[in-house]
A and B are shown apart, each in its own frame.
Chain A
Amino acid sequence: MPAFNSQSVLVVAAILFVLGLIGVLTRKNIIFMLISVEIMLNAAGLAFVAAGSRWGQPDGQIMFLFILAMAASEVSVGLALIMQIYHQHKTLDVTKLTALKDENENVEM
């Protein structure tokens, strides 16, 4: 009976994480960025569960439960923010959301 190799699961988790990171870095729609953050959280949870079942301990699954609770609260707050952004700016493009940009850089202080 060959031993359980957790490397393949960790490779899958790393690929999913990198895909989520690419999504955050390349997409300009703020909903897609939130979805990509969810993918990254899910990949982190997969790595935790893989490590937990590598050692036969339940701690990895418990960490996944906490990641799940954090993802749920994060997505609720994030979606409320998205609704407010859409109502105030009528757009979801992050390149147009420049309210915090330092625009008068060449004006002397």
Chain B
Amino acid sequence: MPVLFYISSIVAIAATIMVITRYHPIHALLYLVVSFLAVATIFLSIGAPFVAVLEIILYAGAIIVLLIFVVMMLNLGTETAIQEKQWLQPKTWVGPSILALVLLAEMIVLLVKGNAAADMNVPAVEVKQVSISLYREYVIAVELAGFLLMAGIVGAAHIGKHKKRYLHRFLQNGNGITKTTEVKTEEEKGLMEEVNH
């Protein structure tokens, strides 16, 4: 009986439903972490331990941290203190905690039982098999994935860069100075004054 698979599936679906119905982005991200952990448990029970570890490290680690940082950066201002007060309320974190505790109980059962893939009666596809196939038949696709990640980095750095709003290079020191300095801070304004003199 694949009981552990059914439990983690129910946890994943419940957490995903909570993700798409929350109003606050941080609450949704808490549930999204639990959803990814539950999917990692599903991977573990269908005989893919390597992918389960990667799911936790990359999805629940890296991507969620990126999203949380952006949500934090976009919520600057006076609302921050009110949000801090709201985050510490128990009804914010008790839902994800309960779902994560269910997953923890599953993990303890798996560790005690020993063989994780025996839950679904499926032979585990080992890491060695995956890596041999990855670097033999799919080596071109690996290099293309490297290109894709490089393009993603360059694109994100280019799009996320703050562009100075100069209209034209002739307007940079003359008429456009009132237009350009209104987006700058005081220090940059002083520095521009020095440059102009």
Contact = CB atoms under 8 A, between A and B. Distances in A.
A62 interface: yes
5 contacts: A12-B9, A35-B29, A53-B47, A61-B125, A76-B152
Given A31-B25, A68-B54, A71-B63, A4 B70 contact: no
Contacts of A83: 70, 73-74, 160
Contacts of B125: 52-53, 56-58, 61
Nearest to A76: B156
Report which residue of A39, A56, A60 has the largest number of chain B beta carbons within 10 angstroms of its beta carbon: A39
Interface string A60-102: 1110111011111111110111111011000010000000000
Interface in B1-55: 2, 5-6, 9, 12-13, 16-17, 19-20, 25, 28-29, 32, 35-36, 39, 42-43, 46-48, 50-51, 54-55
A15 B114 CA distance: 30
Contacts of B124: 53
Contacts of B130: 58, 61-62
Residues of B in contact with A, size category = 35 or more
B145 interface: yes
A31 B67 contact: yes
Given A9-B42, A56-B125, A58-B130, A70 B5 contact: no
Interface in A13-57: 15-16, 19-20, 22-23, 26-27, 29, 31-32, 34-36, 38-39, 42, 45-46, 49-50, 52-54, 56-57
Contact of A19 (B16, B54, B123): B16
Main secondary structure of the interface of B (DSSP, over half): helix
Sorted nearest first, the 8 A-B pairs with minimum C-beta distance are A73-B152, A23-B20, A80-B160, A4-B122, A80-B159, A80-B156, A58-B130, A76-B156
Contacts of A62: 130, 133-134, 138, 141
Interface residues of A, number: 61
Contacts of A80: 155-157, 159-160
Interface of A: 1-4, 6, 8-9, 12, 15-16, 19-20, 22-23, 26-27, 29, 31-32, 34-36, 38-39, 42, 45-46, 49-50, 52-54, 56-62, 64-66, 68-77, 79-84, 86-87, 92
Contacts of A60: 48
B160 A35 contact: no
A22 B18 CA distance: 12
Contacts of A79: 66-67, 70, 156, 160
